[in-house]
Amino acid sequence: MSRVAAIQMASGPNIGANLIEAERLIGLAVEKGADLVVMPENFAIMGLDEEDKVRSCEQSGVGPIQEFIARQAALHGVWIVAGTIPLRSGDPGKVFAACMLYDDSGECVARYDKMHLFDVYIEANMESYTESLTILPGKDVVVVDTPFGKIGLAVCYDLRFPELFRCMLDKGAEIFAIPSAFTAYTGKAHWESLVRVRAIENLCYVIAPAQGGYHINGRETFGDSMIVDPWGVVLDRMPTGAGVVCADIDLEHLSGVRRGFPSISHRKLRIPGS
């Protein structure tokens, strides 16, 4: 059995200030006994505009955000999923939104680049987002073998694409880590439903940290960070504001659920190439 934590933040455009807050919250998660800490999407920077992340992007393996996470992982002897970090791409006007997994010695052992980009117009409140203007989509499905189980990495808008999670399941995933920053409007409508159904249909644990609060750029994010078990039970959650939610990951419980309710083995259709 392992203890995991999901960090909730309300990040702003100042990277230094965000990292100070992240350090505090990682420390709190460690005090609560966490062996694995998952940060939210955009934990280090929620810019005043979309170009801020391009101006602040780092080369893979080098930069203050990556160095901060590596130090924290090694200092506390914990694994950390570093939400998303803007990493340089071949296009000078765009970055990758990289979700990076660090082991307890501070080594980056996996990287997932956000695949599905949030290009939407929400008519009800006239909100518009076009991530593809500044982000290049990733192409690879990432599942990592860890001491806590096989972890599949996804980010925010990815939640709406069940085929990605089936692909991760077919790669052996037992836990999904899904750093997010849902808008207040879409979060109220869909967040809990999406998080819980991804757990239920794949009989996996889900660790879903989120941005939750008001941001200097005028944006409001939904929060409600949660950890959900393979039966869809919410083990811990936080409605809004900065903080930590914690729960235990029990792979024996997961195996028992899958044996007793073998819906995965009852599948009739497969995704081509999975």
Contact 254, 262 (CB under 8 A): no
Contact 72, 23 (CB under 8 A): yes
Residue type, 30: V
Residue tagged active-site, from 57, 156, 204, 246: 156
- The answer to whether 201 is a known catalytic residue is no
- The answer to whether 57 is a known catalytic residue is no
Q: Encoding tokens for residue 91?
A: 């296009």
Question: Which 3 state secondary structure label does DSSP give 47?
Answer: coil
Residue tagged active-site, from 21, 41, 131, 174: 41
Residue tagged active-site, from 58, 99, 114, 174: 114
d(CA 79, CA 69): 10
Residues in contact with 240: Cβ distance below 8 Å, sequence separation at least 6, in sequence order: 8, 212, 213, 222, 223, 224
- The answer to whether 156 is a known catalytic residue is yes
* Angle formed at CA 183 by CA 134 and CA 98, multiple of 5 degrees: 40
Contact 175, 39 (CB under 8 A): no
d(CA 6, CA 177): 9
Contact 233, 29 (CB under 8 A): no
Q: Are strands 95-102 and 108-113 parallel, antiparallel or unpaired?
A: antiparallel
Alpha helices in the chain (DSSP H): 15-31, 51-55, 64-76, 162-170, 184-186, 192-202, 251-260
Q: How far apart are the first and last CA of the chain?
A: 29
Active site residues: 41, 114, 156
